[in-house]
Structures are given as C-alpha cells and as structure tokens.
Structure 1
Amino acid sequence: MEACGLIVEYNPFHNGHLYHVKKARQITKADVIIAIMSGSFLQRGEPAIIDKYYRAQMALQAGVDLVIELPYAFAVQNSELFARGAVQLLHALNGKHLCFGSESGRVAPFEKHYKQMKQNKTQYQHTLKNMLSRGQSFPSASKHAVEMIFPELPLDITKPNNILGFSYIKEILDSNLPIQPHTIKRIKNNYHDVQITNSIASATSIRTKLIKQNEKHDAILSTIPHSSYKQLTYYKEKTGIWHHWENYFPYLHYKVTTMSTNDLAQIEGVDEGLEYRIKKTAPFAVSFDDWMKQLKTKRYTWTRLQRMFVHILTHTTKQEMNPLKELKKMPYIRILGMNAIGQTYLNSQRNACIAPFISRYSGKMHPLLTVEERASRIYYSPLPRKVQKQMIYQEFRGPIIDKN
C-alpha cells in the first residue's frame, strides 16, 4: 500500500479541503490518505475553533484514512519548524507522496527556488541579517533579501501557502527523504479572505461567520461538507463555545500580570526585550484584540505575537523547547483517528515504521507529549468544569475508529 500525506489544520474542514483530498488521491494514485494535523493550537498562534478529535472525525468522514497529530512543539512554530515536524512524521510513516495546496500550483518553481537559495545561502543570510537589524519583521526582511539577490523569482514567497510549500520541499531535499512532492493550485479564494463568496471559501471566512456573526446556516452550509457541519453542531452543543482568543484573554492576562519580566523572558518566543513591552501594555489591555494592536509594530507581526502568547498561555519555556526543536526524527507517531483502510495500513507498517505508534497519554511520556498534555488542558480551560473533564478524558482513550 502506498500512502500520500496531507499537512493540515482543518480549522474547520471545508469544501476546499475536500477538493484537496480527492485531487491528492487522483494525482498520486495512493491507496491511503494520511492527514498530519495540528492539535489544540495552530501554526499562526490560534486555538483551533473545535478540538482535535472533532476535526479528526470531520476528516475521516470526508475521505481521509488516517489522522496523525503534529506535536505542539512543531505545530506552533515558524514555517520551517512546522514543516520539519510534519514531513518527518510522514517519513516515519513511510509515506511516499506529499500533496500540498499552493498559490503556484506547480512543483518545479519550488525546486528551482530551493536550488537558488542553497547556492546563495551565505549572501541571503548576510542580507537577511542586515534587513532585520533595520527593524524589519522576518517575513518582510526575508522577502527583500530574496528580491535583492534574485532578479527573477521562480516563486512568489509572499503567499502563505507558497511559504509553507517551500518549507516542505526544503525539508524533503535537505533531509534527502524518499517522498515525492505534488501540489495543487488553490482555487476560488485566498488564504486571508474574510468574506464567503462561493462554495469553496477560506477557513478564515468560515470562522469569521461562526465566531463574529454567530451564523451557522445558509452561507456556511454551502462551504462545508454536511459531515463537517454536523461535527461543528455537536461540538457547540456539547461545549457551548467556539474556541477563539477572547476566550483565553482572562487567563492570559492574569498569567502575564503575575509573572516577572525575567520569568516572561524565559518563555518561548519572548525575544528582543518583548517582555518589557508585554508588561508595559498589560494594564491597559481590555481584550485580546486590543492587546495585540498595542503590541504590534513593523518588526513584530501579528502571527509572531500570537504564537508568543500561546507559549505564555501554556507556559512553554525556551529551555523546554530548544532540544525538542532540534529533533531530526520523530520519537513517536500519535494516532488521532483512522478508518479500516488506515488501520490496515498501520498494521502493514508496524514493523517498518521508524517510530512507535501511540494513541493516548500514559505514565512516563516523552517530553514532546508532556508539552502536548499541558497544551490540551489549557485548550479546554474555558469550558465548564464537568465538560472539561469529559473532553480531557479523550486524551487518555484510544483513537477514533470510523466504521462508515
């Protein structure tokens, strides 16, 4: 059996994701579709709108065969670390293909861009460092450094899916992995679109409807599979909320105000004296959005600040994360859900995979899982206590088995 991997968040699973699953299977002729999915918190530094198990169920009901959790230590990171964790997990599962969405729609520009970057690595790093010293954010500095070095760019690296796609290609080629990359062009919407204009809409626009306008009918129903709508409905009925940053603002604010600047400086992502700016603005912040607007500058992007706040919220320190970020091979493969095809594939690979399978928290755990458990408990903290206990209990049970 050959497997194709998709690196995803499914926040929530929508028609664009369904298109991706079907095209990946068609292009690669894979027997198995594996989703490497972020857990409680996501790459842009946000809580997932509903939890990982309901999102895994969405995926399984829409054609994915196996859902594997991308550990928190890689999920809430820049594109390079995010890609490393996800691609190495796919490799650990002996996945032969990786199919990702992009604004480019062709693999060749990614590979050409990689070769150019590798040949001019020293010049790029020198130029990037110079741009950063002038106070530019990393994305802006990287863009300008690339434009200065390469007069004709094979790839637009300002586009969010292209950025991630390039990181996937880089990890595959840097590590010389036996994974064949494929890409499909993003259609009918842009990553950051906030308005729903057709049946394939961005996850951002769907969440905007759900959270800000509390809409859950006509417009949203046209953009997601019915099975996704059912899981969204079940989750809201069970928990009473959609997870978003304002749910966590009181916890975050309390944590910051009771920490010293020295303690804040030990947290992952709190760099370049940001601890002083955080403490200075904390007394005046009346909401998460308000706090972000006070903190954001040309140098500190919204995404970088959100990731930093996730790490503060989960009390994830640099000392804890640094050795985890250096991992080149995944120490375990955590299974969130599977169908019969996924189960058959796992059984066929049990002796061939380079990491053990796990499905639940246990007594003595790898440090990656220790961080994961803490993040999961924080994620459920806005829920009523009785519901919290029920939801956390999922983490100690086996994976979801979809029998449809």
Structure 2
Amino acid sequence: MKTVGLIVEYNPFHNGHLLHLERSLRVSGADASVAVMSGPFTQRGEPALLSKRARAEMALAAGVDLVLELPVLYALQPAEWFAFGGASLLDATGVVSSLCFGSESGEIAPLEELASRMQGGESPAMREALKQALAEGLSFPAAYAKAASGQGGGDSAAAAALLGNPNDMLGLHYVLALRRLASGITPLAVRREQAGYHDAGLPAGGSIASATAVRAALARGEGGPGEAAPYLPPSSLAVLRREALAGRMLADGWEALAQPLLTALITRSPEELALVPGMDEGLEHRIAAALPRLPVPGTEALLSAIKTKRYTRTRLQRLLAHALLNHRGPLFGRDSLARGPRYIRVLGFSPKGRQLLKTMKKTAKLPVVVRAADFDHPQLGLDIRAAAVHASAFPSPGIREMYADYYAPPVTEF
C-alpha cells in the first residue's frame, strides 16, 4: 500500500487541511495517509483548541487513515526540531514513501537545492552567521533566513525571499531532516491556497481560511462555530459542536491557562526559571521584573510586557508552555533531541489504517504504542502530563478527561 506522510496540527481541521490531504494523495499517488499530529500544545506554543483525540477524530473523518502523536518534546520546538521529530516518526513507521507539505511556493526543487548548499544541515559557518544575524537585532526567523540563504553560494537573495515564507522555511527543515535521517522518504510540496499562514481574517465569499482566522472566529462565537462554520468540513463541525457543548473547547487559548502559568512563574526564582528550555539571554529576569507590573493577571498582558522585536510571540509562547509544563533537564538538549522520538504513539486509525498498523509490526523501527499504560518512557510521561494540564483548563474537567491517555483507546469510530 503506497502511503503519504503528513506533519500537521489540525487546530482545528478545516477546509484548507482537507484540500492539502486531497492534493497530497494525488501528487504522491498514494493509497493511504499517515498524519503525525501535535498533541495538546502546538508548535507556536499555544494550547490546542481541542483535545488531541477530538482533533484525531476530525482527521480520520476527513479521510486520514492513521494519526500518530508528535511528542510534546518535539511539538514545542523551533522548526528544526519540530520537523526532525515529525520526519523521524514517519521514517520509523517503515510504511511511508513520501512526505507532502503545503508551502507558499509549492515548489520542492529550490528547497532541495538550498538543503544541498547547506550540506544537509547547519554547519559551524551557518551557526556563526545565525549568531551574527541575531546580534544585529533580527528576530530568529529573519536571522535564520539570512544565515541559511548565504550558505554555499547560489542566489542568496532568492533563497532569503523563499525562506521569508513560514511554510517554505518549515519545508526546508523537512528536507534537511530527511537527509539527516538518510531516509528513503521523498519530500513533496503542494501550493498553499487562498489563505496565508498569518492571515487573521476570514476571506469574504471563500471556504478556506487560515487556522488562525478560524480560531479567532470560534473565540467570537460564544461556544459555537458561528462565522467559522463555512470554513470547516461538516465532520469537523460535528466534532466541534459536540466538544463545545461538553465544555471541552479552549476558545480563549492561553487565557484559559493563565492562572496555572502565572503560579508556575511566580513561585520560581529567576535562577529556577533559567532552567526552562529556551530561557536564555536573561529572559528570566525580564519575566520576573514584568510580573508585578502587569496591568491585569493574564497571559496576554504578560506576552505584551516581555515581547520585543527580537523575541517573537511564538518563541515566547513556547517558552511559557515549557515553564507551565515544568520542562527542564537534558531531555531538552540538542543531543537528546537528535536521537529522535523513542516510540510511535497511535491516536486513531481507519480500517485502512488498521492494515498499516499490521504492516508496521514488521517494519517499524520503534515500539508502536496503542495503550499508554503498556509503555514507559520519559518522553511519553511528558505527553501524558501535558494532556492532563491541557484538559485541566476545561470549565469542569474530569479525571478521565485529564488522563484520557490511560482511559481512552485510539479513535476508531468517526
């Protein structure tokens, strides 16, 4: 069975995701799809709108065949390690022949060429160029684009323009990750249509909007889909309405977790905060100084107080997520991250996905985890605790919701 891999967040699954899935199957010539999906926290450092199970259900109902969880260790990382974690899992299944991602350019050749110029990774010269660009006051994405585009000759201006697109930048890291893994998976790109990554508004008369715009519309909907409805497949709407009615939707995003976040920050000294992954260049002191001066005790107020041109909102949100989840230690170091995920966690599967799982019993390079209680690993422990923290922000959380990793089987009905 020819299978295409996707690295996704589905926060929530909208019409743009459906278009990407359909085009990925067509471009790859695949018969089935495997999606590696972020769990309760996304790469932008935000708590997901819905639980990972609800989002896996949306994906399966729309036609994805097998949904795997990207460990939170990799989900809450910059592009390099987010991409490496997802690509590692797809490669480890032994059943995926291609990785298809959406990008602004929709072209794989320029990314392949740039990856070759970078010699398959970040060289010492690249890291030095990145350091210099950051010293100039550039944000990390802008600094990375400048440093990467100047490697190994070629048209640096064209490369810099390409890497100014967030999805093309992520696509470069998918290509780099596959090369780093010496994987036989073929990278493919399809053009992102109609809505840009950062577009905050719902396009008039269209059916495709960015996930950012969809979430903003849901936040305005007072517990229902509201104006976001035309931009979601009917199956996603059904799940969303059910979860909202049950009080399992975090439409307010970070504000739903403001109290535990502030408690985590207030009760730690700057020296303790300095141990949080990504807490460098004195950010711990900036946060400690900002807390008693906040106009209101909320996450948005804190982000506004500590954000600068250099420290993007995304970077700060990831840092705050690490602080909330009490992340620290060698597990988050480069050497640990470079070893990749240590298991393949199954969130849900279709009948075709069940066949893939049977094949994976012979082909998988890592343990396939269907029940969390059957497997013990520090990375999985982080996932279970992150899901519990996420569910604790629901209006009336139950223990079975918080610890669904132990109680709920993979999604098979949708």
TM-score > 0.5, shorter chain as reference: yes
- Decide whether the 8 Å contact of 2:50 with 2:248 is kept in 1: no
Offset at 1:214?
A: 3.2
- What is the CA distance between 1:218 and its match in structure 2? 5.8
Residue 240 of structure 2 is aligned with which of 228, 232, 242? 232
**In the TM superposition, what are the counterparts of 1:137-176 in structure 2 within 5 Å?**
137-146=139-148, 150-154=155-159, 156-176=162-182
Runs of 4+ displaced beyond 6 Å: none
1:347 — aligned with what?
358
Give the 3 Å change call, closer, same or farther, for CA 148–180 of structure 1 in structure 2: closer
Q: Whole-Å Cα distance in 1 between the matches of residues 293 and 236 of structure 2?
A: 39
Deviation at 1:127, TM superposition (A): 2.3
Contact 1:267 1:312 in 2 (8 A): yes
Whole-angstrom CA distance in 2 between matches of 1:122 and 1:330: 25
SS at structure 2 position matched to 1:190: coil
- Conserved 8 A contact 2:72-2:383: yes
| Pairing 1:20-59 to 2, within 5 Å after superposition | 20-59=20-59
Alpha-carbon displacement from aligned partner over 1:242-273 (angstroms, at most 9, x marks no partner) = 25100111111111111111111111121111
Contact conserved, 1:209 with 1:216, CA < 8 A, in 2?
no
Instruction: Check the 8 A contact 2:250/2:393 in 1, yes or no.
Output: no
Structure 2 partner of 1:395: 405
> What whole-Å deviation, never above 9, does each CA across 1:100-138 have from its counterpart, x for those lacking one?
000011110110111222399454333222222334332
Displacement of 1:235: 0.7
Find the counterpart in structure 2 of residue 80 from structure 1: 80
Q: Output the TM-score relative to the length of structure 1.
A: 0.94
Question: 8 Å contact 2:195–2:208 — kept in the other structure?
Answer: yes
Segment of structure 1 superposing worse, 36-45 or 321-330: 321-330
- Once the two structures are superposed, the pairs formed by residues 309-320 of structure 1 within 5 Å of their partners are 309-320=320-331
User: For 2:390 and 2:304, how far apart are their aligned partners in 1?
Assistant: 23
Match of 2:7 in 1: 7
Aligned mate of 1:330, from 318, 328, 341: 341
Contact 1:324/1:368, CA 8 A, preserved across alignment: no
**3-state SS of paired residue (1:144):** helix
Q: 1:276 aligns with which of 285, 295, 298?
A: 285
Q: 1:245·1:288 contact (CA, 8 Å) conserved in 2?
A: yes
Distance 2:132 2:404 in 1: 48
Q: Check whether the contact 1:103–1:186 (CA below 8 A) recurs between aligned residues.
A: yes
> Contact conserved, 1:81 with 1:325, CA < 8 A, in 2?
no
Task: Figure out how many residues of one structure are paired with residues of the other and give that number.
Answer: 402
> Aligned partners of 1:242, 1:189: CA distance in 2, in Å?
23
Shift of 1:145: 3.0
Secondary structure at 2:311's aligned position in 1? coil
1:213: how far off?
Answer: 4.9
Secondary structure of the corresponding residue to residue 363 of structure 2: coil
In structure 2, relative to structure 1, the CA distance for the partners of 1:214 and 1:262 (3 Å cut) is same
Change (3 A) 1:172 1:148: closer
Letter in 2 for 1:357: V
Distance 1:399 1:215 in 2: 26
Moved more, 255-264 or 36-45: 255-264
Query: Which structure 2 residue ranges, 5 or more long, are not aligned?
Result: none
1:68 aligns with 2:81: no
CA distance in 2: counterparts of 1:399 and 1:252, whole angstroms: 30
Where 2:173 maps in the other structure, the secondary structure is helix
Per-residue deviation, 1:320 = 3.6
* Structure 2 CA distance for partners of 1:151 and 1:83, relative to 1, 3 Å: closer
1:158-237 to 2 correspondences below 5 Å: 158-197=164-203, 198-214=206-222, 216-217=224-225, 219-237=227-245
8 Å CA contact retained: 1:73, 1:325: no
Equivalent in the alignment of 1:99: 100
Code of the aligned partner of 2:401: M
CA distance 1:275–1:37, change in 2 (3 Å):
same
SS in 1 for 2:158: coil
Q: CA RMSD in A?
A: 2.0
Following superposition, the deviation at residue 319 of structure 1 comes to 3.2
Structure 1 unaligned residues grouped into runs of 5+: none
| C-alpha separation in 2, matches of 1:326 and 1:241 | 31
Residues 249, 401 of structure 1: CA spacing in aligned structure 2 closer, same or farther, 3 A cutoff?
A: same
- 1:299 aligned onto 2:310: yes
For normalisation by structure 2, the TM-score amounts to 0.92
Query: Structure 1: which amino acid aligns with 2:207?
Result: S
Supply the distance in 1 between the matched residues of 2:334 and 2:143 (Cα, whole angstroms): 27
Instruction: In structure 1, give the amino acid aligned to 2:261.
Output: L
TM-fit CA distance, 1:355 = 0.9
How far apart, CA to CA, are the structure 1 residues paired with 2:335 and 2:349? 27
Following the alignment from structure 1 to structure 2, what is the Cα–Cα distance between the partners of residues 103 and 343?
33
Distance verdict in 2 for CA 1:306–1:362, change over 3 Å: same
Identity %: 36
Closer, same or farther: CA 361–270 of 1 in aligned 2, 3 Å: same
1:372 to 360, 364, 383: 383
CA contact (8 A) 1:261 1:279 kept: yes
Q: Which residue of 2 aligns with 1:129?
A: 131
